[in-house]
A and B are shown apart, each in its own frame.
Chain A
Amino acid sequence: MARAAVTGSEQVPAVIQVQGLTKRYGDHAAVAGVDLEVRAGEIFALLGPNGAGKTTTLEMLEGYRWRDGGTVSVLGVDPAKPTLAWRARIGLVLQSSTLPPELTVTELVARYAGYYPHARDVAETIEFVGLSDKRKARAGRLSGGQQRRLDVALALVGDPDLVFLDEPTTGFDPAARRAAWSMIESLRDLGKTVLLTTHYMDEAEELADYVAILVGGRIAAEGTPATIGGRDRAPVEISFLAPAGFDARIPSAGETRCENGTVVLTAADAGRAVGELIDWARQHHTDLAGLQVTRPTLEDVYLGLAASP
Chain B
Amino acid sequence: MNVAALSLREAGYARKSLLRDPQSLFFTIALPLLYLFIFDTVFGSQVGTVPGQPGRMKISIVMTASVIVIGVVSSAFQNLTVTLIQDREQGILKRLRSTPVPTPVFLAGHLVNATITSVILAVGVGVLGITVYGVPFPGERIGAAVVTVLMGTLACAGAAIPFTRVVRKGSAASPVTVAVTLSLFFLSGNFFPGVAMPRLMGVVADIFPVRHFFSAMLTAFNPNTAGSGFDFGELGVLALWGVAGAALGTAVFRWTPSEDR
Spell out A's residues near B (CB within 8 Å). Answer: 59, 62, 64-66, 84-85, 87-88, 90-92, 94, 96-100, 102-103, 107, 111-112, 114-117, 138, 151, 154-155, 158
Contacts A64-B256, A94-B95, A99-B95: A115 and B100 contacting too (C-beta < 8 A)?
yes
Least distance between A50 CB and chain B CB atoms (Å):
18
Q: Which of B50-58, B86-94, B110-118, B120-128 contacts A (4 or more CB under 8 A)?
A: B86-94
10 nearest CB pairs, A to B: A102-B20, A97-B91, A84-B100, A98-B90, A88-B100, A115-B99, A87-B100, A97-B95, A65-B260, A102-B17
Task: Select from chain B the residue with minimum beta-carbon distance to A116.
Answer: B100
A98-B91 Cα distance, complex, nearest whole Å: 5
Which residues on the A side are within 8 Å of B101 (C-beta)? 115
Using Cβ atoms and an 8 Å threshold, which residues of chain B touch A85?
Answer: 100
Whether B199 is near chain A, meaning CB under 8 Å from some CB there, is no
Whether, in the assembled complex, B134 has its beta carbon less than 8 Å from a beta carbon of chain A, the answer is: no
A64/B97 contact (C-beta < 8 A), A98-B92, A114-B1 known: yes
A112 to B92, CA, bound (A): 13
B165 within 8 A of A: no
Given A90-B98, A98-B90, list of 6 further CB < 8 A pairs? A84-B102, A94-B94, A97-B91, A98-B91, A100-B13, A100-B92
Contact of A64 among B6, B16, B100, B260 (CB under 8 A): B260
Q: Does A99 lie within 8 Å of B98, measured CB to CB?
A: no
Q: Are A154 and B100 in contact (CB under 8 A)?
A: no
- Hey, which bits of chain B sit against chain A, CB under 8 A? 1, 6, 9, 13, 16-17, 20-21, 87, 90-92, 94-95, 97-102, 256, 258, 260-261
Q: How far is the CB of B91 from chain A (nearest CB, A)?
A: 4
Q: Is the interface of B mostly helix, strand, loop or mixed?
A: loop
A-B contact pairs, 21 of them (CB 8 A): A59-B260, A62-B98, A84-B100, A88-B100, A92-B98, A97-B90, A97-B92, A97-B94, A98-B95, A99-B92, A100-B87, A100-B92, A102-B17, A107-B13, A107-B16, A111-B9, A114-B6, A116-B99, A116-B100, A117-B100, A154-B95
Q: Which of B1, B6, B17, B99 contacts A103 (CB 8 A)?
A: B17
Residues of B contacting A94 in the complex (Cβ-Cβ under 8 angstroms): 91, 94-95, 98
- CB pair A64 B13 closer than 8 Å: no
* Cβ B20 vs Cβ A87 within 8 A: no
In the bound complex, residues from chain B placing their C-beta under 8 Å from that of A96 are 91
- Tell me which of B13, B92, B99, B261 contacts A158 (CB under 8 A): B99
Most B-side CB within 10 Å, residue of A64, A103, A154: A64
Question: How many whole Å from A97's CB to the nearest CB in chain B?
Answer: 4
- Are B17 and A87 interface neighbours, CB within 8 A? no
Residue of B nearest to A88 (CB): B100
Q: Is the CB of A64 within 8 A of B94?
A: yes
Q: How many Å lie between the Cα of A100 and that of B258 in the bound state? A: 20
How far is the CB of A127 from the nearest CB of chain B, in Å?
21
Minimum distance in angstroms from A106 CB to a CB of chain B: 12
Q: Please determine whether A103 and B16 come into contact, CB atoms closer than 8 angstroms.
A: yes
A112–B99 contact, CB under 8 A?
A: yes
**What is the chain A residue whose CB lies nearest that of B106?**
A115
Q: A85 vs B100: C-alpha distance in the bound complex, in angstroms? A: 7
Q: If the complex has contacts A112-B99, A115-B99, A115-B101, are A102 and B21 also in contact, measured as CB distance less than 8 A?
A: yes
Residue in B91, B92, B98, B101 whose Cβ sees the most chain A Cβ within 10 Å = B98
The residue on A at minimum CB distance from B97 is A64
Residues of chain A within 8 A (CB-CB) of B90 are: 97-98
- Given the interface pairs A102-B17, A114-B1, the reply to whether A64 lies near B261 with Cβ below 8 Å is yes
A66 touches B20 (CB 8 A): no
Q: Is the CB of A100 within 8 A of B100?
A: no
Per the bound structure, the CA–CA distance linking A154 and B92 in Å amounts to 12
Q: Tell me, in angstroms, the Cα distance from A3 to B258 when the chains sit together.
A: 34
Contact residue among B13, B20, B258 (Cβ-Cβ distance under 8 Å from A138): B20
Q: Please indicate the chain A residues that have their CB under 8 angstroms from the CB of B21 in the complex.
A: 102
